[in-house]
Amino acid sequence: MNNTKFQNAGRAVSTTVLLTLIVAGYEVFRACQSYRTGMNLLDIASFANADLNTYCLVLILANIILLPKVLLLYKENNISLKNEIYSKETLGRDIALGAVLAAVSSAVSLLSLLVNKGRTELAFAGWGRLSVGEIVLMIISLGFVSGICKEICFRGLAKRFCGDVFGESAALLLFNVLFGMLDWFNMGHSFLVGLLWIWGYKKSGKLIVPMIAHGGMNLISVAFYILTA
């Protein structure tokens, strides 16, 4: 195995680790800042994204700032990111698979309601009614930026640049651990749905499947919150 593959794998890992540290670091800081005596772990975690506007902006900025590093890695290795994302021949089938996985992932999200029963009255009570600006910010950050940029990092970089070094399945699982760490406050939910998206990605070979599944699940969650707030 040549040094270029190891170097590419190192760059892919370091970029994704940096993204994880930036976002998770903000979440930990925000959660700890809200700590009060008597809180349990679920209570503390509930404050990780309590400041909705700042949280969404951190997601957007972290992904956008690191995106050029990702694009450069593909370009330097003469890999077409467009071809990694979709193929005209299988586009319809891949969109359908992504939509199905978005629905299944949303069903898995209902497990969070059971986990949240462990919270006390000290936990974050929720955002209340959202303004139009907040809804737009959530759609951009959770539906599009997370759905597209995070999938390129956590699934695309793993398979394309780390698969030959660690083994494809091992690389995807390793990056999924990082994915779960980035969203640590949802207590393993991201790791679980990430496994579904890995399956969809491996089945289709195209990033559009986990992109639609990820972005779709988040948009469904936003719609659910708006309707039930």
Q: How far apart are CA 71 and CA 3, in angstroms?
A: 20
pLDDT of 205 reads: 96
For residue 1, the model assigns a pLDDT of 61
Count of the separate structural domains present in the chain: 1
Burial profile 49-80: b = 16 or more Cβ within 10 angstroms, e = fewer: bbbeeebbebbbebbeebbeebeebbeeeeee
pLDDT digits (tens, 9 = 90+) for 205-215: 999 999 999 99
Q: Identify the domain containing residue 149 by its residue range.
A: 3-228
Q: Quick one: which H or E segment has residue 120? A: none
Give this prediction's pTM: 0.94
Write the pLDDT tens digit of every residue in 25-65.
999 999 999 999 999 999 999 999 999 999 999 999 999 99
Which amino acid makes up residue 159? K
What is the gyration radius of the CA atoms in the chain, in angstroms? Answer: 18
Low pLDDT (below 70) residues in the chain? 1
Distance between CA atoms of 4 and 43, rounded to whole angstroms?
Answer: 45
Q: How far apart (Å, rounded) are the C-alpha atoms in residues 17 and 162?
A: 13
Query: 101 vs 93, 95, 140, 196, 213, CA distance in Å?
Result: 12, 10, 20, 7, 5
d(CA 165, CA 168): 8
DSSP string, 148-204: IIIHIIIIIIHHHHHHHHH-HHHHHHHHHHHHHHHTGGGTTHHHHHHHHHHHHHHHH
